[in-house]
């Protein structure tokens, strides 16, 4: 409530108690290292950077509660305590409709419960079925939840098994998998399974900016274009679309939010056509925050309540739990028990009994590559930190501060006169449209956005992520896919790690680089053009802009 003591600035909600020094590095030193490492920004040593904005994936600062939770983790090879805690954390947030219905096994474990009978009844043998997270014997009989160490591994497990099943049923057939925006690793995994990824969003809306650069209400630029989706299904045939994805928030489309209405509508289209609907749910909490702030009917709902509705529309999800500030490592793959994905990808006998459960096939792949199903490549301590981080991501104040940092950086670029800033800011990063930044003077074959990224490192020690023509492989796409590429560079902001001082430095550096943009070199690939997800390991070299 407002009163006479209200201040014109928000009250802080956290403080830092650990400090890491930044070394002094010269331009010449950075240039020498860049050249030696073939101008690959992923290979550049983090210890030589002033500000690292390559990604918010696993790079966030953890809270004191997360650090404390590390000590509650046990490293048992089979059914560590954190396994039960983490699955119930997901049930709390994604299925139980908000805090008032939480069971929070986490709190039971925190109190070091020694009542064995209670632990058996409440934790170890508690039966759950029919949702995204089976429990007790049901998880053994029909496995549908798989702890994985990060999102791209979850995608790889999913896509490899889907590929095998489709190849067994339809040898030689090529499939199309649409999304509002497949991120680089998702697209890479889809291409490696021999399918065609498509990104169906409104690019014109994405790049529109009001006269003063400010939106009063978020326009949900990350939405799937529903007309394009239906047109694609009609064009390629419903039998050639095995899955439909939505990325929340829409990472390749500049971290833009997706409305609840759009999730609901895509789900309806998918289910009308008997196609499983999958969420790339890396930033579910940010997306729920935007829905709460800007979509009618959700202002009084909590982030967890909104998350429960979002996940009610999907048949399964892949998730990197390294985003949204959850933890430094973690991921999840899950599908609805006896739902549409299970029905479409399991094999059945003539009498209707299950011949081969798709969950069993996924579990075999998980165990073969990542470890036993109760840890899936994660340590027990990281599992506990992740569970705590999931609950913390439901804190509105945390999300408000996180998004405010993104707005500050985006509006700082805009006010500095930098062209191409995508507004409004997303929830985890700020993006600049390289086509507009360079006044439309650089062609798609120049990879000038990568030149921009390299020059930010060389001149100012700032690392970003080029997510445009180079990383999203414009030169290797069909004309239809090329039209779907957003030629952008991303400035990721990780949780509670960067200060206003860092952001002001970045604003000043980008302003200076923009004013000298004619000197930014183009880039060419000298090795690795056709490698899957080439931007992680290709070699480049600069050449003059002439």
- The domain ranges of the chain are 27-56+397-543, 136-395
Compute the mean pLDDT over every residue in the chain, rounded to the nearest whole number: 93
Residues 503 and 492 sit within 8 Å (Cβ to Cβ)? no
- pTM score of the predicted model: 0.94
Compute the average pLDDT of residues 525-537: 93
Residues 154 and 377 sit within 8 Å (Cβ to Cβ)? no
Q: Which residues contact 542 (CB under 8 A, 6 or more apart)?
A: 39, 451, 454, 521, 522, 523
What are the structure tokens assigned to 42, written together? Answer: 């992923």
Residues 366 and 157 sit within 8 Å (Cβ to Cβ)? yes
Q: Is the pLDDT of residue 1 over 70?
A: no
Residues 495 and 60 sit within 8 Å (Cβ to Cβ)? yes
Q: What is the DSSP code (8-state) at residue 339? A: S
Residues 540 and 40 sit within 8 Å (Cβ to Cβ)? yes
Q: Quick one: residue 52, left, alpha or beta (phi over 0 = left, psi -120 to 50 = alpha)?
A: beta
Q: How far, in Å, CA of 374 to CA of 436, rounded?
A: 48
Q: Which residues contact 545 (CB under 8 A, 6 or more apart)?
A: 442, 446, 448, 451, 518, 519, 520, 521, 522
pLDDT tens for residues 418-428?
999 999 999 99
Compute the average pLDDT of residues 492-499: 88
pLDDT tens for residues 319-339?
987 777 687 888 899 999 999
Compute the average pLDDT of residues 94-108: 91
DSSP for 50-119, written as a single string: SEE-S--SS-SPPPHHHHHHHTT----SSS-HHHHHHHHHHHHHHTS-SGGG---HHHHHHTT---HHHH
Q: Is the pLDDT of residue 310 over 80?
A: yes
For the domain 27-56+397-543, what is the CATH code?
Answer: 3.90.1150.10
Q: Is the pLDDT of residue 285 over 60?
A: yes
Q: Which residue has the higher pLDDT, 156 or 462?
A: 462
For the domain 136-395, what is the CATH code?
Answer: 3.40.640.10
User: Please, which pLDDT band fits residue 2 given cuts at 50, 70 and 90?
Assistant: low
Cβ atoms < 10 Å from Cβ of 352:
6
Residues 523 and 39 sit within 8 Å (Cβ to Cβ)? yes
Say yes or no: do domains 27-56+397-543 and 136-395 share a fold.
no
450 three-state secondary structure:
helix
- b/e map 439-459, b = 16+ CB within 10 Å: eeebeeebbbbbbbbbbbbbb
């Amino acid at each position: 409530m407002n009163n006479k003591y209200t201040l014109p600035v928000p009250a802080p909600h956290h403080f830092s108690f650990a400090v890491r020094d930044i070394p002094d590095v010269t331009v010449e030193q950075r240039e020498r290292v860049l050249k030696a490492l073939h101008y690959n920004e992923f290979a550049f040593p983090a210890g030589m950077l002033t500000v690292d904005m390559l990604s918010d994936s696993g790079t966030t600062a953890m809270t004191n509660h997360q650090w404390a939770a590390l000590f509650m983790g046990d490293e048992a090879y089979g059914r560590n305590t954190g396994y039960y805690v983490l699955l119930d954390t997901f049930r709390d947030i994604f299925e139980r409709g908000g805090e008032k219905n939480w069971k929070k096994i986490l709190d039971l474990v925190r109190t070091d419960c020694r009542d064995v009978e209670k632990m058996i009844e409440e934790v170890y043998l508690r039966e759950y079925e029919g949702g995204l997270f089976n429990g007790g014997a049901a998880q053994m009989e029909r496995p549908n939840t798989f702890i994985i160490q990060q999102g791209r591994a979850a995608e790889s497990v999913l896509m490899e098994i889907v590929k095998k099943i489709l190849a067994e049923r339809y040898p030689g057939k090529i499939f199309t998998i649409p999304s509002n925006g497949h991120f680089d690793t998702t697209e890479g995994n889809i291409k490696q399974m021999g399918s065609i990824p498509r990104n169906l969003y409104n690019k014109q809306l994405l790049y529109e900016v009001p006269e003063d650069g400010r939106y009063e209400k978020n326009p949900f630029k990350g939405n799937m274009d529903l007309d394009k989706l239906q047109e694609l299904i009609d064009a390629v045939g419903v039998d050639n679309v095995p899955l439909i994805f939505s990325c929340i928030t829409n990472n390749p489309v500049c971290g833009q939010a997706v409305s609840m209405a759009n999730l609901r509508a895509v789900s309806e289209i998918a289910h009308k056509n008997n196609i499983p609907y999958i969420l790339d749910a890396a930033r579910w909490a940010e997306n729920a925050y935007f829905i709460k702030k800007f979509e009618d009917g959700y202002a009084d709902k909590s982030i967890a309540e909104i998350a429960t509705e979002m996940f009610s529309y999907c048949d399964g999800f892949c998730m990197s739990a390294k985003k949204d500030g959850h933890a430094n490592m973690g991921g999840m793959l899950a599908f609805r028990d006896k739902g549409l994905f299970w029905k479409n990808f399991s094999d059945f006998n003539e009498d209707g009994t299950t011949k081969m459960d798709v969950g069993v096939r996924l579990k075999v792949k998980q165990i073969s590559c990542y470890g036993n199903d109760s840890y899936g490549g994660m340590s027990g301590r990281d599992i506990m930190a992740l569970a705590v981080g999931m609950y913390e991501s439901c804190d509105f104040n945390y999300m408000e501060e996180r998004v405010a940092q993104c707005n500050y950086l985006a509006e700082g670029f805009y006010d500095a006169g930098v062209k191409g800033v995508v507004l409004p800011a997303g929830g985890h990063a700020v993006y600049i449209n390289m086509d507009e930044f360079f006044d439309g003077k650089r062609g798609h074959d120049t990879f000038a956005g990568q030149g921009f990224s390299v020059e930010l490192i060389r001149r100012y020690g700032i690392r970003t992520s080029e997510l445009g023509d180079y990383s999203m492989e414009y030169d290797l796409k069909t004309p239809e896919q090329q039209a779907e590429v957003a030629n952008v560079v991303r400035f990721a902001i990780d949780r509670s790690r960067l200060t206003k001082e860092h952001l002001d430095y970045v604003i000043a550096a980008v302003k200076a680089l923009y004013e000298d943009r004619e000197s930014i070199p183009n880039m060419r690939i000298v090795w690795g053009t056709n490698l899957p997800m080439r931007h992680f390991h290709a070699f480049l070299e600069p050449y003059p802009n002439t």
